[in-house]
Structure 1
């Protein structure tokens, strides 16, 4: 039995404490559902239905949440738990336990009435189901559900004046068409109950305000400099009479699809079964790994433009990024034995190769992808190589030969000459990249005219990846009997130049960038050790790992800059500009634990002592899976005392790299 995440009242003594813990589930097309463990919103992206209008992008908040109230005789109990300006609704006081196992489950008790509430998504559709199981007490009661609607971009607040809808009720269905987009039809179906128009609620106020859930306050957003308010639309209540000692099963379904063909409980059971089938396929038989397999699933989604799978970089705001996809590829789809998805992802990105470049990102709109990255294309070689190592089937080599190989040759030719963003090969065989305001490595923040981490020149990880790409192409061209483009000769030249120019004898590690010889101690050098084809001699690999361990290791990953550096920033908090200036200047990145553990056990020859240490480094992530975004791994943490989730609250390459090294050290 997998470990279920369970949270009793000690985790939400106050609404503020409850707002620190949240959950997310995906629908396989870029849409998702997420909220806090107390059921309210603490960030702008929270909502029970965030729909992808053009999968996996154009994500809009449709159903913010449902709010419940139970009336027993004349005693009313509001189960809503939400912060507002200068006040809060404290429905968490009736919440006895929150659990998460595939889906979120809330268990409330009011007097002698027990209420279970779950939220599930219909996989492959922009549809959410909210299910209730109620055990009534010895008195009759009235159960009221208030659906809270919206129509706005996920992550952007909205004014009440823009929340206008045409609406209609027919039988047990409410239909809303937002004035902002007449092509969208929001449908809410209830299994039973009567709709009550909230405009009819008696009031002494001159301007009734019952149509809006206004002045929502988002605790986490406020911590990061957001000062605005948010509003939602509540046109109707649903009233359900429950007899004494009666047991009720009720569901609501909200969708923007054309029809509703399932019950809410069918959607719930299908979602659970599909998730558990993925765990069985992966075959780990380990609680920690099984939960990572579940976490991995939410990032693997379908892209409309190709009809193929892609990988979302993270929730709640990232789309599919080329670099993130290729780094996360092994952990998400190979370690989980989702080989059909792996093929689709490789083919999907192959269709977008342009001038030898893999897209950096697909914007969250209908615009063309951006190509401002030097490393995504080089990580693509790694993804292809690892795919073949995991499958080792002739049919997979045929797939690579027919669909992918020519794209790899195109990338090689572009990089060995010159392509966009000042990317090209120097006479020493090393790759240079970037100029002006371009930020083309993963350390890519720019604030206006300020390039925070200017890595123009020859970055260390880019050239380690380049060497590995050449070695991979040599293996592939022999296996597939392709033209010899002198990959071996060039790889030897690159290796010689790399060792001569990147070694920093004073600090006993690698320069971060040459030719300007940036001697900042950064984590990028770890890939020179962790990648499959070794570019350094063994003794220098050990020194690199030792230096990185001392200066950068920080429990949940590696710092982006040594804590001893005068430019080091140990906190990632506050307004956007302050966070941007710290993003790659000391902030801890979770995904870097993967290459570090791989390098650590490699230089120690997989000794028993090194494996025990590596298992300890990995085991702390079991604690983190219970925190922040439940069963997710945060993008980043502070450099000082890495503890609180920062940035994107669950990140594809963080989950992927932890699962990958789990498989590596446990030899699963």
Structure 2
């Protein structure tokens, strides 16, 4: 069983406790999220954050529920924690925390005030925007408790100020409905209705973004507690008249569900299977994958890279099949859309569709689902043909050599897609190495799917095309330095993209041990691979600062945990040991996004986590490797 536990030394330190975050995902794309210390350091933090359609269009609803205790002697103690634009921390309830733990995936806090010990547990219900809060007096007392509800109703990427109209509140028998959008229910509700101005979010300030908002003090729930007694509060959106379970029942059910998910032969596997569950969501159009919390929605590249780890390694093959079929129905001009996060489909990706072919082929190889191979074969054949004739953004096969080229003004079409003021940081226009490794793999995948569907003659023709493309690849990318050119015809730079030429099931090259060892010496860290070697021009070892600073470093040295997957596959093929590759991740589970794997980390030691604290392809690739370690056949064993 994986458990995280911190005492007052971490909980009471806003730098230590405020940088460790917990997450409860609701299975719809919404979540509850915050820090060990209880301080809201991001504008994205809240106890009820509701997904939209698409899921990335989230709204923050309930920001905080602050307990205020009135002790037997009449003294009043506030257990909440807020930072203000003035720099003040008030109240400072984090200084009274004796313990935080994440057990069975559920966050729990304990405060001690003399002989009074007060506890809070949170849980949610998969498949609906619902939060359960169970507060309990463990010792001391009796105490009078008032739990102050601080809310808003705003875009998760923005702020709301007291300059506008106040939230509309509608009284109910057991609480309140706010903005006709979410409901709070619990004992002894007393409405208030005042603004708390100038709440500060230190992480947003560090990221160079707007960092101040105003919160609406809607009112408070009240109860008298003796030792062992509970105060239960629920909050939910959607069907506001729904008959929902009591908070304590929801906590017990969530604990049981987590225990069912957390199976595995080692701590890492047992921890990452529930972590994987947080990214698999149900949307109005079917199952999908949230790329990362708290700010991403669904991105097709992330979804397809994550597919094996999230669906095959966890036994979600039926749900995965539905996802693949749903995505296939959205193909346009031989391409998957990149994302719909902005509210409309964008197709500016050169690799997501190739990863889609890879995901389908892996699904069929692992499950033996020849019916899926047969049903999707016409669409996948059309994908390859569209690339051969040319599609959007200059994505086309060069008839001179059969390799895939791409590029359009102002676009960054590979996974290295950061832009500053519309200008790509790493343009990579032309024949990028991993795109052509994926292209070779896509043709091989199509051959395998045609064979599985009983189309042997077609499979043979794809095999022949793959052999021709492999020969062109082998002429175009190797360089005298031992590294593969990152873009054909350009000087070699030590980047991890070349690993896909060795790692994919139908990769164009066989890795040499000495070559991979050279790459590892320059790129490999305890939690992933750098995106550029430190001795290369332009290397940036810290992924920090404002948007432009972070985007400039994003693919210029920043560590990416998901890249450990391609490296491990290539190393296994080269006969190198992969035994200790995952050792650093058990500790990482308690360092940033608790129980999960971050999107990125600094390229320079100590490789502190950056980006999204909870990232799908990071979790998926580490889980895929851990799952493969538990089963015969290596990382891609079925």
TM range (shorter): over 0.9
Residue of structure 2 in register with 1:499 after alignment = 474
Matched, 1:509 2:483: yes
Residue of structure 1 in register with 2:555 after alignment = 584
- Structure 2 distance, partners of 1:536, 1:239, is 67
Q: Secondary structure at the match of 2:410?
A: coil
Matched, 1:234 2:228: no
Aligned length: 623
Cα deviation for residue 312 of structure 1 reads 0.8
1:59-74 alignment runs, 5 A limit? 59-72=58-71, 73-74=73-74
- Structure 2 distance, partners of 1:368, 1:230, is 28
- Structure 1 distance, partners of 2:597, 2:432, is 27
Cα deviation for residue 655 of structure 1 reads 0.5
- Structure 1 distance, partners of 2:209, 2:252, is 38
Residue of structure 2 in register with 1:37 after alignment = 36
Residue of structure 2 in register with 1:373 after alignment = 349
Q: Pairwise CA RMSD of aligned residues?
A: 1.7
Question: Which of these residues, 461, 470, 473, is aligned with residue 446 of structure 2?
Answer: 473
- Structure 2 distance, partners of 1:252, 1:163, is 27
Cα deviation for residue 309 of structure 1 reads 0.7
Residue of structure 2 in register with 1:202 after alignment = none
1:109 and 1:115 in contact (8 A); partners too = yes
Residue of structure 2 in register with 1:261 after alignment = 244
Q: Secondary structure at the match of 2:582?
A: helix
Residue of structure 2 in register with 1:87 after alignment = 88
- Structure 2 distance, partners of 1:36, 1:665, is 32
Change in CA separation of 1:431 and 1:141 when aligned onto 2, cut-off 3 Å: same
Residue of structure 1 in register with 2:636 after alignment = none
- Structure 2 distance, partners of 1:333, 1:598, is 19
Residues 252-292 of structure 1: CA deviation (Å, up to 9, x unaligned): 11111222421111222222222222335xxx232210100
Change in CA separation of 1:251 and 1:216 when aligned onto 2, cut-off 3 Å: same
Question: Which of these residues, 408, 413, 417, is aligned with residue 444 of structure 1?
Answer: 417
1:163 and 1:233 in contact (8 A); partners too = no
Change in CA separation of 1:449 and 1:359 when aligned onto 2, cut-off 3 Å: closer
1:403-418 alignment runs, 5 A limit? 404-418=376-390
- Structure 1 distance, partners of 2:265, 2:602, is 33
2:486 and 2:498 in contact (8 A); partners too = yes
Cα deviation for residue 113 of structure 1 reads 2.2
1:131 and 1:264 in contact (8 A); partners too = yes
Cα deviation for residue 158 of structure 1 reads 1.8
- Structure 2 distance, partners of 1:267, 1:162, is 36
Residue of structure 1 in register with 2:76 after alignment = 76
Q: Secondary structure at the match of 1:16?
A: coil
Q: Secondary structure at the match of 1:504?
A: coil
Matched, 1:285 2:265: yes
Question: Which of these residues, 485, 494, 498, is aligned with residue 521 of structure 1?
Answer: 494
- Structure 1 distance, partners of 2:172, 2:458, is 69
Change in CA separation of 1:491 and 1:310 when aligned onto 2, cut-off 3 Å: same
- Structure 2 distance, partners of 1:660, 1:548, is 22
The more displaced of 81-90 and 59-68 is: 81-90
Residue of structure 2 in register with 1:348 after alignment = 326
Q: Secondary structure at the match of 1:213?
A: strand
2:43 and 2:211 in contact (8 A); partners too = no
1:554 and 1:642 in contact (8 A); partners too = no
Question: Which of these residues, 406, 422, 426, is aligned with residue 394 of structure 2?
Answer: 422
Cα deviation for residue 111 of structure 1 reads 2.5
- Structure 1 distance, partners of 2:30, 2:82, is 23
Residue of structure 2 in register with 1:189 after alignment = 185
Cα deviation for residue 549 of structure 1 reads 0.9
Give the gaps of 5 or more residues in structure 1.
178-183, 200-210, 605-609
- Structure 1 distance, partners of 2:80, 2:534, is 44
Residue of structure 2 in register with 1:400 after alignment = 373
Question: Which of these residues, 226, 230, 240, is aligned with residue 249 of structure 1?
Answer: 230
Give the gaps of 5 or more residues in structure 2.
633-638
- Structure 1 distance, partners of 2:283, 2:237, is 18
- Structure 2 distance, partners of 1:478, 1:401, is 9
TM-score by length of structure 2 reads: 0.94
Cα deviation for residue 55 of structure 1 reads 5.5
Residues 476-509 of structure 1: CA deviation (Å, up to 9, x unaligned): 212212362721121111111111111111x112
- Structure 2 distance, partners of 1:79, 1:165, is 25
Matched, 1:331 2:309: yes
- Structure 1 distance, partners of 2:623, 2:281, is 19
Q: Secondary structure at the match of 1:38?
A: coil
Change in CA separation of 1:70 and 1:537 when aligned onto 2, cut-off 3 Å: closer
Residue of structure 1 in register with 2:635 after alignment = none
Q: Secondary structure at the match of 1:15?
A: coil
Cα deviation for residue 617 of structure 1 reads 2.2
1:99-114 alignment runs, 5 A limit? 99-101=101-103, 102-114=105-117
- Structure 2 distance, partners of 1:435, 1:370, is 14
Cα deviation for residue 449 of structure 1 reads 4.3
Q: Secondary structure at the match of 1:114?
A: strand
1:15 and 1:82 in contact (8 A); partners too = no
Cα deviation for residue 136 of structure 1 reads 5.0
Residues 83-142 of structure 1: CA deviation (Å, up to 9, x unaligned): 2222102101221111112111111222222222111112111111111122352x5421
Change in CA separation of 1:589 and 1:642 when aligned onto 2, cut-off 3 Å: farther
1:555 and 1:642 in contact (8 A); partners too = no
- Structure 2 distance, partners of 1:559, 1:658, is 16
Change in CA separation of 1:8 and 1:481 when aligned onto 2, cut-off 3 Å: same
Residue of structure 2 in register with 1:664 after alignment = 628
1:629 and 1:649 in contact (8 A); partners too = yes
